[in-house]
Chains A and B, each alone.
Chain A
Amino acid sequence: MDGIHDLGGKQGYGPVEVDDEESPFHHDWEGREWGIAQCARTPGITIDWWRHCRELIMPEDYLGRPYFDSWAQTDFATYIEAGWITLDEIDAGKSLSDKTDFGNPVTAMTLQQVLQEDHDHAVRFDAEIDAPPAFSVGAQVITSSHGNNGHTRLPQYARGRRGTVHACNGAHVFPDLSAEGKEIHQHCYNVCFAAAELWPEVENTRDKVHLDLWESYLVAG
C-alpha cells in the first residue's frame, strides 16, 4: 500500500528530537495501551493484518497523534472489523450485547506469569519448506518496481533497485498474504543496497542500507 506509513527517504520531517529519557512510558495511558496490546484477546488477527490496519489510519491521524494512541486506534479498528465491538458500544462506553463466544474469561496474571509469557512469546515466523531458495549469498537481485495494493514490506524507496544478497534468512511467513489471514512461508533474504543506488544525491560513499525482503519481491539482476 502506498500509504503515509512508508516513510523511508521521505523529506521534510525536520530534525530528530533526540532527547528522550530512558523511562519507557511518558504518560500513564501509554503504559495502559502497551499492556492492552500485550494481553487483549485477538483470535484470528495476524501481526501483519494489525500492521495493515495501522497503516490505514487517516494520514492526519497517523502523523498527528502520539505513537501509542495509534496502537489504540488500531485495536479499535481491528476489533470493530472483526465484529467484536461496535461504534455504538464505544459511544455507550459499555458492552451492548451478550456476545460471549470469546472463549474462557481472561484471568488476572501476576508479574511472574507475565514475564514467563514474554519469554514464551519469542514467536518464530520461519518454517522448513520444500522449495529451495532461488538466490544464494552474493547473488545480484533487482527489487520489484511495483508495490502491493494491500500490506507489503518492500518500501517505496527500495523498489526497482539493484542489490546483493547478504544472507538467506530461511522461509518466513509472507506478510502480504499474512495480512489477508493466509500463512504461507516464502524464502526471505537480507539484501544489501549501496546508498548511491537508492538516493540521487549520494555519491562516492561506501554506506549501505540492508533490508529483509521476500523472494517474490526479487528477480535475478
Chain B
Amino acid sequence: MPEFDAEKVAEIHQHLHSHLPSESALRVKALETLLVDKGLVNPQTIDAWIEAYTEEIGPKRGARVVAKAWSDPAYKKRLLQDAPAAIDELGFLGKATAHLKVVENTDQVHNLVVCTLCSCYPFSILGIAPAWYKAAAYRSRAVREPRGVLAEFGVAIDDDVEVRVWDSTAELRYLVLPQRPPGSEGMTEDQLVELVSRNSMIGTDRDLGANTRSQD
C-alpha cells in the first residue's frame, strides 16, 4: 500500500529518469507490459477505454447540452442550477463531472476555464482535453493575461466586457455556456449542435456566428 512518502517519490523519479526508455511510446509500453504481467490491468479493457473516448465520449456531448440549453429555457435553468443532474438527463454524467458548474457568457461577460496546477477537465462531457489546454503556455498565461491568450485564438474581447477566468483548483469542473449566435433562430437542436465548438465550451472561442454563416 502507498506510504505517501514524497521524498521517496522524488528519488524514484530521479531513478526513472535514467531507467526508463527515452521515447514516450516505449515508456508507456513498458508500463503496460509490466502491469499486465502483474495482473493489475487488462489490455482489452484499455482498448475499450480508448474506444469510449474516441467514439462515444467527447465534445459532441457538451455541444448537445449547449444546444438543448439554447432551445429549451427550462433545461437551461436546470443546467445553471444543477449541472450534474441536467447532464445526467442526457446520460452524460460521468468521470470528473459530479461537481460540474456551467458558467454563462452574455454580452457583458466572457468566461474562460483553465487548470493552472494540473490539467483538470470535465472528461465525461468534453472528452480528452486539447493539447494546448495541458501546455505550460496556456496554464501560465490564462489567469494573468486572458485577453492576450484569447487574441491568439482569434477572439477579441471589447474593453467593456468582463473576462472571468475559472481556475479549476478543486474537484469542481467548469463548462462555458456560449451565446447562441444571431442567425440561428430557425435551427433545430440537431443543427445547433453543429455550431458549438469544443473551444467555445472552454472559453477560447466566443462568436459562433461564423458557424451559422458557413452552413448557408
Question: What's the minimum C-beta distance from A22 to chain B, rounded to whole angstroms?
Answer: 6
CB closest residue in chain A, given B44: A108
CA distance A91 to B20 in the complex (A): 8
Please name all residues of chain B whose beta carbon is closer than 8 Å to the beta carbon of A169 when the two chains form the complex: 99, 170, 172
Please name all residues of chain A whose beta carbon is closer than 8 Å to the beta carbon of B156 when the two chains form the complex: none
A25 touches B165 (CB 8 A): no
Residue B208, interface by CB 8 Å = no
Chain B count of residues within 8 A CB distance of the other chain: 99
B52 touches A16 (CB 8 A): no
The total number of A-B Cβ pairs within 8 Å is 328
Chain A count of residues within 8 A CB distance of the other chain: 119
Please name all residues of chain B whose beta carbon is closer than 8 Å to the beta carbon of A119 when the two chains form the complex: 91, 93-94, 124
Residue B74, interface by CB 8 Å = no
Mask for A118-148, Cβ within 8 A of B = 1, else 0? 1101111110000000000000000000000
Known: A13-B136, A118-B95, A122-B95. Is A82-B3 also a contact (CB below 8 A)? Answer: yes
B164 touches A40 (CB 8 A): no
CB closest residue in chain B, given A110: B48
CB closest residue in chain A, given B33: A93
A61 touches B17 (CB 8 A): yes
Residue A203, interface by CB 8 Å = no
CA distance A69 to B28 in the complex (A): 7
Question: What's the minimum C-beta distance from A217 to chain B, rounded to whole angstroms?
Answer: 10
Interface residues of A in 1-53 (CB under 8 A from B): 1, 5-11, 13-18, 20, 22-29, 31-36, 38-41, 43-45, 49, 51-53
CB closest residue in chain A, given B118: A51
CB closest residue in chain B, given A43: B1
Other-chain residue from B13, B33, B52, B138 in contact with A73 (beta carbon distance below 8 A):
B13
CA distance A35 to B169 in the complex (A): 24
Residue B84, interface by CB 8 Å = yes
CA distance A58 to B17 in the complex (A): 8
Other-chain residue from B4, B8, B140 in contact with A180 (beta carbon distance below 8 A):
B4
Closest 5 CB pairs of A and B: A8-B116, A35-B46, A212-B170, A24-B128, A108-B44
Given contacts A9-B144, A81-B2, A155-B167, 9 further A-B contacts (CB under 8 A): A13-B136, A16-B137, A36-B41, A39-B49, A69-B24, A87-B19, A108-B44, A110-B48, A199-B144
- A–B complex contacts, Cβ < 8 Å, 12 sampled: A13-B140, A15-B137, A27-B25, A32-B29, A35-B50, A72-B31, A81-B8, A90-B16, A95-B37, A124-B98, A180-B4, A213-B169
